[in-house]
Amino acid sequence: MQDTAWQASLILMSLVGLGFSYVAIQSGSRDEDYAPMQKRAYRLRLKLFWALILVFGPAMIYTLTDLPYAAALARSAQDTRTPQVIRATGHLWYWELSESHIDAGQPVEFQVSAADVNHGFGIYDPDMILVAQVQAMPGYVNTLRHTFEREGTYRILCLEYCGTVHHAMMTELTVARR
Ligand code: CUA
């Protein structure tokens, strides 16, 4: 996925570069009236604008209605069981957890904070799919509730760029049935 994104970026960047080179080469060689050209460009720009609105407007509305947060909040509000509380603190560049073993099927409440700068507390399941996340901020405790149904090794990664070793800011959670 990352490789694909990188290759797509490279292609797009080359196209933009080619466009700039073309304009730079053409700029010296012509001497004509710019008014009609400007008119055409503005018409094209207006068409492009509406095309973008038509394509991305519905896409945005669709993805917003599909956000998982409301459903997750409703589920945790209905769950009256006492959660297992885990304190999590982000440091440059590691996570400190008060506990890393979790019972599958039991609600967990993470109390997430940071010791230095802002970090992003992201929990990934054994397939490296993001299952829950919250900001880790110095001076604040953000709570994140989640019930882990599936057993296995989960990973906590930092979701907010926090310096040179941000990418290695990782720890693990073990979820098992008792
Ligand atoms: Cu901590 Cu990025």
What's the pLDDT tens digit per position in 46-57? 999 999 999 999
Pick the residue whose CA is nearest to atom 1 on ligand 1: 119
Separation of CA 24 and ligand 1 centre (Å)? 41
- Per the DSSP assignment, residues forming a β-bridge with 170 are 157
Q: Do the beta carbons of residue 66 and residue 91 sit within 8 Å?
A: no
Atom of ligand 1 nearest to the CA of 119: 1
pLDDT tens sequence across 68-115: 777 777 777 788 888 999 999 999 999 999 999 999 999 999 999 999
Separation of CA 120 and ligand 1 centre (Å)? 6
With 0-12 / 13-18 / 19 or more C-beta atoms within 10 angstroms meaning exposed / middle / buried, residue 83 is middle
* CATH H superfamily, domain 69-176: Cupredoxins -  blue copper proteins (2.60.40.420)
Q: Do the beta carbons of residue 157 and residue 136 sit within 8 Å?
A: no
Of 11-25, 69-83, 111-125, give the lowest mean pLDDT range.
Answer: 69-83
Please work out whether the CB of residue 107 comes within 6 Å of at least one atom of ligand 1: no
Q: Global pTM?
A: 0.63
